[in-house]
Amino acid sequence: MGCFSSMGKLFLVVINILFMIFGLMLILPGILILANVEYINENVKPLMKTLSYGDVNLADVADGLSISMIILGIFILVVAMLGLCGACKSNKKCLCIYSIVVLTLLVFQLVAVALWAVANDKLTNSIKSEMLTNLQTYYTNEDLSSHEISTAWNYLFMKLSCCGVNDNQNSTNDFTTSPWKTSAGTKNIPIFCCSGTNTDNYNLVTFSTCTDEVYLGYYSTGCYSAVEKTVSTYTVYFIVTGCIILAVELIGLICACCLCKNIGKKDGEVSPGRKKKK
């Protein structure tokens, strides 16, 4: 029993150290996303605020997600410290509280994953449709100052090297029915869809083979695909991290329960030289 107790403590200590590391792995990306991300910065947020799912717009979702990650990471760190304290001190109360909290967290994560799986397809289809409607309704200006939504689109084109919403097929593209097209002259796509355009030279350069002919130097990838690819990179990271955290939580829960039970048995042992009362 002493050997089992020692091994249980060791496992719980190691597991909660890992737990703390994974908590940090949620906090740091959350801070980075909140501070600045290529497609979630102050220039692009006006566009994201017009895209919604239900009653929630994407700008609030992005901010809320990063804040939630930071809070969850801090919570995991606190839980890990509680588990370490319970394991090192052989404190049954700490271990019981730790087990209950970890079990609750485990159930919550599984429910969240299930809800995400159900809503994911509807969310992606809805966002793509809203992006296209927004572009064809509000995209009017080929600059970075005169129109907030157009400016947001132009920054998105440059930051993600994309153009329009759907992938471009030469002169057939999403800009054909946009308000911008009526004053674009011979242009089929904006200058911001051309490789080499930046915030300093957009009103100085002319890329007719790109903007007019859509033949050379244009971004063929649509912005929906570019955003989806960027989000997928983060999604894979969080799925892997989440799966590892779930495994660590499960092992930690089992070890905590076993150690708790073992402490209970030790507390009930009769000291040498003393008889049990009948």
Q: What is the pLDDT of residues 158-192, one digit of tens each?
A: 989 999 999 876 667 899 999 999 999 999 999 99
What is the spatial distance between Cα 88 and Cα 82, in angstroms, rounded to a whole number? 10
Any domain includes 194: no
How far are the Cα atoms of 15, 77, 275 from residue 11, in angstroms, in the given order? 6, 17, 35
Which residues, 6 or more positions from 39, have their beta carbon under 8 angstroms from its beta carbon?
156, 159, 160, 227, 230
| Backbone torsions φ then ψ of 172, nearest 5 degrees | -90, 105
In a domain, 23, yes or no: yes
Domain of residue 28, residue span: 2-118+234-267
Enter the DSSP assignment of 56: E
Q: What pLDDT score was predicted for residue 36?
A: 55
Long-range residue pairs from 48-52, CB within 8 A, at least 24 positions apart, any chain: 48/152, 50/130, 50/134, 50/138, 50/149, 51/127, 51/130, 51/131, 51/134, 52/130
Query: What integer pLDDT is reported at residue 12 of this predicted model?
Result: 79
Q: Give the tokens for residue 9.
A: 């403590």
Sequence letter at residue 151: T
Q: Does 148 map to a domain?
A: no
Indicate whether 129 belongs to any domain.
no
Give the separation between CA 147 and CA 143, rounded to whole angstroms.
Answer: 8
Residues 6+ apart with CB under 8 A from 203: 143
Domain membership flag for residue 45: yes
The residue ranges of the chain whose pLDDT is under 50 are 1-4, 38, 268-278
pLDDT at 140: 95
How many folded domains does the chain comprise? Answer: 1
Element (H, E) at 52: strand 52-53
For the record, the structure tokens of 94 come out as 């700490």
Task: Assess if residue 238 is contained within a domain.
Answer: yes
Dist CA 46 CA 209 (whole Å):
31
pLDDT for 32 equals 66
Apex 15 CA angle, 11 and 18, nearest 5 = 150
Confirm whether 110 is domain-assigned. yes
The reply to whether 212 falls in a domain is: no
